[in-house]
Amino acid sequence: MDKRTETQADYGIEIYIDGNKNHSVYFFYQEGTINLSEPGMLREAFKTKRGQSGNFITTHNDNITRIFLIFDIGHYAITTELDNSVFNANKSKIFSMFKSIYIKEY
């Protein structure tokens, strides 16, 4: 996943789908650069409804779909880890959630 030094930390909110820790959505801010490098990563540009952009990255390993959305503004990201069946059943809701995000720094 991401490579961190001992001085890096992340702060965020993790949501468990149906209370299951194996099906989660995690929105976070990380001090330091977010670097992702895993075999089979598919990358594409992403833009929210309010125009914020970033990189949309997916991996499919075994029966798990992992999504990373890394925003160009600051060090913000979202990651999800879902069984393929859960991901496929909720795909439109997941993308709708991602498209609705707006980050405002104070």
**What are the pLDDT digits (tens) for 2-15?**
444 444 567 899 98
Query: Range of 38's domain?
Result: 10-100
Write phi, then psi, for 22 (nearest 5 degrees). -80, -10
Residue 105 CB contacts under 8 Å (≥ 6 apart), including other chains: 73, 74
Residue 8's pLDDT is what? 57
Domain annotation covers residue 73:
yes
pTM, to two decimals: 0.77
Q: Is residue 106 part of a domain?
A: no
- Assigned domain for 92 exists: yes
Please tell me the total count of domains within the chain: 1
- Examine residue 3 and state whether it is found in any structural domain, yes or no: no
Q: Answer whether residue 4 is part of any domain.
A: no
Per the domain annotation, does 23 fall within a domain?
yes
pLDDT at 9: 64
pLDDT winner (highest mean) among 1-10, 41-50, 71-80: 41-50
What pLDDT is attached to residue 52? 93
Q: Answer yes or no: is 80 within a domain.
A: yes
Pairwise CA distance, residues 63 & 95, whole Å: 20
pLDDT at 90: 86
In a domain, 26, yes or no: yes
